[in-house]
Amino acid sequence: MMSKSSPLDKRIEIPENNQWAAERELEIGRKIQASFLPEELPQPAGWQIASQFKAARMVAGDFYDAFTLVGGKRIGLVVADVCDKGVGAALFMALFRSLIRAFADQHYSLGWMDLLTSQPIDAQPDRSVSRRRELLSPGTTALKKAIELTNNYITRNHGKTNMFATMFFGVLDPATGNLTYINGGHEPPMLVGQAGIKARLNPTGPAVGLFPDLDFNIEVVELEPGDLLVAYTDGVLDARSPEGESFGERRLAWMVQQPAASASALLEAIQISLNEHMAGIEQFDDITMLALRRATSPQIE
């Protein structure tokens, strides 16, 4: 069948249409993906939580999250980097983020319900003391479950895609400053105190999504008044200058130790420094940072 337009017209016309359609679809994807990042960060009394996020392309494979668990008694904090780039990584970002949130929410609620219902009242004359002691424990199993179930879900249902994510998932008890965490193959977050870097929260297990039933260990660290935790993705370290020099771990370590008015002011300062380092050249990886700071003295609301 003959078309009205000549073959040459067609060749020009169709790719333009396709490109326009593809760009429009990507723009829709970008907007929907943004809804998978938290609209607001929880701000428990006496704490600051801040984030910086700059995608390298229209859609990103990095993500961060911060959400309340068990009615605000705990705060979940996530920084993750899905492998590879582009639309594939973006789809998996949405999946990883949702699984972690849903499993964490479910298992934290279950853990606390178990506690309240299973404890025999008569056997514990001083209930308030024993209960307080036990309230620390449901968190650890719920955290482990959330990561293990996510790992098994991804490997069992999407194993053929070979998609995985490096992921830091911490759960903060705002009352005590204890942060229980699993680091699944992710860049170690830095814990900064008055005298400098106190600890790097090294991996406690592999990246999430490699093989089913892998082991993830739990660690606990305490944030004392004035302490700061900065979690980030490798896009920060690997940001290149026009000369090809990486921003690097040392620069970041130096930056996080500089005095700042707030957690968000600190991350903004790091972002400015990153922008100066890249000096307008194309950013090739997503840049994500999440900061958690404990006030120096108990805050009066």
Partner 1 sequence: MEINMRQEKQLAIVAIIGGVDALTSGEVNSFLSQQIEDGKNRILVDLSQVDFMSSAGLRAILAALKESRQQGGDLSLAGAQPGVEKILKMSGFTNILKTYPTVAEAIAASGM
Nearer to partner 1, 20 or 211 (CB): 211
Candidates 211, 224, 281, 298; binder of partner 1 (CB under 8 A) is 211
Nearer to partner 1, 80 or 266 (CB): 80
Candidates 43-51, 136-144, 201-209, 275-283 — which segment interacts with partner 1 by CB under 8 A? 201-209
Residue 166-195 contact track with partner 1, rule CB under 8 A, x = bound: x-----------------xxxx--------
Minimum distance from CB of 94 to partner 1 (Å)?
17
Distance CA 59, CA 34 (A): 9
β-pair partners for 270: none
Applying CB under 8 A, what is the total number of residues that bind partner 1? 23
Nearer to partner 1, 86 or 177 (CB): 86
Q: How far is CA 58 from the centre of its chain?
A: 19
Residue 210 interacting with partner 1 (CB under 8 A): yes
Nearer to partner 1, 197 or 269 (CB): 197
Minimum distance from CB of 85 to partner 1 (Å)?
4
Minimum distance from CB of 187 to partner 1 (Å)?
7
3-state SS, one letter per residue, for the chain: CCCCCCHHHHHHHHHHHHHHHHHHHHHHHHHHHHCCCCCCCCCCCCEEEEEEEECCCCCCCEEEEEEEEHHHCEEEEEEEEECCCHHHHHHHHHHHHHHHHHHHHHHHHHHHHHHHHHCCCCCCCCHHHHHHHHCCHHHHHHHHHHHHHHHHHHHHHHHHHCCCEEEEEEEEECCCCEEEEEEECCCCCEEEECCEEEEECCCCECCECCCCCCCCCCEEEECCCCCEEEEECHHHHCCECCCCCECHHHHHHHHHCCCCCCHHHHHHHHHHHHHHHHCCCCCCCCEEEEEEEECCCCCCC
Binding residues among 51-90 for partner 1 as defined by CB under 8 A: 81-86
Binding residues among 124-163 for partner 1 as defined by CB under 8 A: 159, 162-163
Nearer to partner 1, 83 or 221 (CB): 83
Minimum distance from CB of 161 to partner 1 (Å)?
9
How big is the CA angle at 130 (ends 129 and 136), to the nearest 5 degrees? 100
Minimum distance from CB of 197 to partner 1 (Å)?
18
Residue 214 interacting with partner 1 (CB under 8 A): yes
Q: How far is CA 90 from the centre of its chain?
A: 14
Candidates 101, 205, 247, 266; binder of partner 1 (CB under 8 A) is 205
Residue 240 interacting with partner 1 (CB under 8 A): no
Minimum distance from CB of 106 to partner 1 (Å)?
25
Binding-site ranges for partner 1 (CB under 8 A): 81-86, 159, 162-164, 166, 184-187, 203, 205-207, 210-211, 214, 285
